[in-house]
A and B are shown apart, each in its own frame.
Chain A
Amino acid sequence: MILKALFAASATAALLLALPANAAELTIGFSQIGSESGWRAAETSVSKQEASKRKVNLKIADAQQKQENQIKAIRSFIAQNVDAIFLAPVVSTGWDSVLKEAKEAKIPVVLLDRDIDPSGKELYLTAVTSDSVHEGEVAGDWLAKTVGSKPCNIAELQGTVGASVATNRKKGFDTAIAKHANLKVVRSQTGDFTRAKGKEVMESFIKAEGGGKNLCAVYAHNDDMMVGAIQAMKEAGLKPGKDILTVSIDAVPDIFKAMVAGEANATVELTPNMAGPALDAVAAFKDKGTVPPKWIQTESKLYTAADDPQKIYDSKKGLGY
């Protein structure tokens, strides 16, 4: 019985494989890192949406944070002779040999979300990533514009010490506010990108800065820390969003919930839509032979209470964040 079912299943599979692909229809293999964060889950679901919008057949392989699984997935995509391969690399090195195999098979590879070691630049078509320095700049520019010429003491919740995203988001923000002498970061500590630590660190900032009276704004390297910081401010009897301005990065659904409640002011989006631009680049490359630039930068869009946060929350909450 089981054997019969198995046979039937494999026969159907063989039939499906044997069907000639529609000339206009692309098949793309996507080696995803895994689902270690809500953002990653959202990236996977947005990729599926973008692919079906363009009638592309997207095959997603979940690598469960392991490079060897990604290499295996790429090899199997090459064996299936897909039209292109998307890769969200879990680490930046060790890709040379498998990418060479893809190149020999004339299958273009597009990197999503993360870049790889410079030695492999000629081995992929393009990389679609966000510029995290720029994200910090957008946050800093918003704060400078909102505060105007008033003096403003800022508390900063950094990401994990040593994480490149944290270093870059700090750098971008510092560059943006350096142009304004009235803006000053007076407190800066790591909140490890988590809600619990964001709350704990903010509690201490509030005590160290006269019950929060000396602070005019909080900048957090991600929204989760800000959600924790907002709770700390409320428990201290402060009104986040009014007494203390907030600006953070990522644009996860919960920060829009806080925005609806008037407790958060601004967030800079790290878009989960990396596949959209990548699909367009591959389509142009396949159709007209247009070689895209080596780096496609995604938009770091700023959202504030003026952008109908309730609507954005509703559209984002189903994505798996």
Chain B
Amino acid sequence: MTALLPRRGLAQILALIVILAVDRVVSPQFFDLRLQDGRLFGSLIDVLNRGTPVALLSLGMVLVIATRGIDLSVGAVMAIAGAIAASLADTHSLAVVLAAALGAGLICGLWNGFLVAVLGMQPIVATLILMVAGRGIAQLITEGRIVTFSSPGLVWLGNGAILGVPVPVAIALGMLILTGAVVRGSALGLLIEATGGNARASELAGVGTRAMILSVYVWCGVCAALAGVIAAADIMGADANNAGLWLELDAILAVVIGGTSLFGGRFSLVLAVLGALIIQTMNTGILLSGYPPEFNLLVKAVVVLTVLLLQSPKLTGFAGIAARLRRTKA
């Protein structure tokens, strides 16, 4: 349990509370909630709902990063899965649509994992290939158009509600619990951390590092595909040019804000998802604030810098030294 919610989550929780407080200041109705057509309605729900794609991506990404890898292709995989789901939605059952879209994500993950684990390519280069090619594949599927659909099942995935909670949020929560149960309920999480910490030593100690690496990329692909299906369901159409565009960077950022090092090793699923929520809380706050859009990126950069500085061991070290100095003077 300590692995799921470690003490090191303090900086992230503090950051989230501060950003929420700022949101409350720029938009007094931020915490208002009401039911609208059987679905909770309010800015907080927007944060959770809009944060879902990046939260799902970060669930896969955090495992990949824990093995000292990185997956740049998740945005493109989202586009592919969305394109497949939208093209099949009106002619096939929801089960077939989901199987095809998630299957495509699985294949994309296998491809990345094969390049990294079997051929030994550097992860950043290996996944860059699919990042570029994947969007092209998605555009081929949609023929460059926005493919719309009206299948109620798929639309429900993006816009429906379970007991008032938007379906995407429920799915993300379910995936967090599932992933947590699998990697922390067994030794899998530890083996992934070992692979990232020192692949050679782990290999010699009998850890199947190759299988570990392959499986985290596969999981990352499946998570990305799920995010892509939800993104398409949300707008009732697949926009191959823009779906998931640059979201790989947001996912990496979420993982880093969540305190997982890009050098691999220890990781936290909950904090990665919290990182995604921090990013989205900030995005929604910016939209509510009414500042001109030219400030969006600047505000984002300043907030991210502050959150990362809060976590920097050097800086917290300085703060400790300063406190000790003050004490000795007094």
| Residues of A near any B CB (own CB < 8 A) | 35-38, 40-41, 158, 161, 187-190, 192, 194-196, 199-201, 203-205, 207-208, 210, 224, 227-228, 231, 235-237, 254, 320-321
Residues of B within 8 A of A201 (CB): 287
The answer to whether A235 and B46 touch (CB under 8 A), given A207-B29, A208-B290, is no
Residues of B within 8 A of A207 (CB): 27, 29, 32, 42-43, 46, 288
| Interface residue from A38, A161, A204, A228 paired with B46 (Cβ < 8 Å) | A204
Residues of B within 8 A of A204 (CB): 43, 46, 284, 287-288
Residues of B within 8 A of A224 (CB): 146, 239
The answer to whether A203 and B46 touch (CB under 8 A), given A187-B290, A236-B36, is yes
Q: Which 7 residue pairs of A and B lie closest in terms of their CB atoms, listed nearest first?
A: A204-B287, A190-B293, A194-B242, A195-B235, A35-B144, A207-B43, A208-B288
Residues of B within 8 A of A321 (CB): 145
Does A208 lie within 8 Å of B293, measured CB to CB? no
Residues of B within 8 A of A41 (CB): 143-145
Residues of A within 8 A of B241 (CB): 36-37
Residues of B within 8 A of A231 (CB): 159, 235-236
Does A188 lie within 8 Å of B37, measured CB to CB? no
| Interface residue from B27, B143, B287 paired with A189 (Cβ < 8 Å) | B287
Residues of A within 8 A of B296 (CB): 161, 190
B234 at interface (Cβ–Cβ under 8 A)?
yes
Q: Which residue of chain B lies nearest to A189 when distances are taken between CB atoms in the complex?
A: B293
B243 at interface (Cβ–Cβ under 8 A)?
yes
Does A38 lie within 8 Å of B41, measured CB to CB? no
Does B239 lie within 8 Å of A194, measured CB to CB? yes
Does A38 lie within 8 Å of B145, measured CB to CB? yes
Q: Which of B277-327 contact A (CB under 8 A)?
A: 284, 287-288, 290, 292-294, 296
Residue with the highest number of chain B CB atoms closer than 10 Å, among A40, A41, A194: A194
Q: Which residue of chain A lies nearest to B28 when distances are taken between CB atoms in the complex?
A: A208
| Interface residue from B145, B234, B292, B294 paired with A199 (Cβ < 8 Å) | B234
The prevalent SS among residues of B at the interface is mixed
B231 at interface (Cβ–Cβ under 8 A)?
yes
Q: Which residue of chain A lies nearest to B231 when distances are taken between CB atoms in the complex?
A: A196
Residue with the highest number of chain A CB atoms closer than 10 Å, among B42, B235, B290: B235
Q: Which residue of chain A lies nearest to B158 when distances are taken between CB atoms in the complex?
A: A231
Does B235 lie within 8 Å of A196, measured CB to CB? yes
Residues of B within 8 A of A228 (CB): 235
In angstroms, Cα B236 to Cα A188, docked, is 25
Does A37 lie within 8 Å of B144, measured CB to CB? yes
Does A196 lie within 8 Å of B243, measured CB to CB? yes
Does A161 lie within 8 Å of B294, measured CB to CB? yes
Q: Which residue of chain B lies nearest to A208 when distances are taken between CB atoms in the complex?
A: B288
B259 at interface (Cβ–Cβ under 8 A)?
no
**Separation in Å of the A67 CB from the closest CB of chain B?**
19
Does A38 lie within 8 Å of B146, measured CB to CB? yes
| Interface residue from A40, A188, A203, A320 paired with B292 (Cβ < 8 Å) | A188
**Separation in Å of the A155 CB from the closest CB of chain B?**
11
Does A208 lie within 8 Å of B27, measured CB to CB? yes
B148 at interface (Cβ–Cβ under 8 A)?
yes
Residues of A within 8 A of B284 (CB): 204
**Separation in Å of the B283 CB from the closest CB of chain A?**
8
Residues of B within 8 A of A40 (CB): 144
Residues of A within 8 A of B42 (CB): 207
A-B contact list, 30 entries, CB within 8 Å? A36-B144, A36-B241, A37-B144, A37-B241, A158-B293, A161-B293, A161-B294, A187-B290, A188-B292, A190-B296, A195-B146, A196-B231, A196-B239, A201-B287, A203-B46, A203-B50, A204-B46, A204-B284, A207-B27, A208-B27, A208-B288, A224-B146, A227-B235, A231-B235, A235-B36, A235-B39, A235-B41, A236-B41, A254-B148, A320-B145
Residues of A within 8 A of B237 (CB): 195
In angstroms, Cα B43 to Cα A40, docked, is 37
| Interface residue from A37, A192, A199, A237 paired with B235 (Cβ < 8 Å) | A199
In angstroms, Cα B287 to Cα A205, docked, is 8
**Separation in Å of the B243 CB from the closest CB of chain A?**
7
Residue with the highest number of chain B CB atoms closer than 10 Å, among A41, A208, A235: A208
Q: Which residue of chain A lies nearest to B159 when distances are taken between CB atoms in the complex?
A: A235
In angstroms, Cα B294 to Cα A36, docked, is 25
**Separation in Å of the B15 CB from the closest CB of chain A?**
21
Residues of B within 8 A of A190 (CB): 293, 296
Does A200 lie within 8 Å of B50, measured CB to CB? yes
Residues of B within 8 A of A236 (CB): 36, 41
Residues of B within 8 A of A36 (CB): 144, 241
Q: Which of B215-253 contact A (CB under 8 A)?
A: 231, 234-237, 239, 241-243
Q: Which residue of chain A lies nearest to B43 when distances are taken between CB atoms in the complex?
A: A207
Beyond A194-B239, A320-B143, list 10 extra A-B contacts (CB 8 Å).
Answer: A38-B145, A161-B293, A161-B296, A187-B290, A192-B242, A195-B242, A196-B234, A201-B287, A210-B29, A231-B159
In angstroms, Cα B41 to Cα A113, docked, is 43
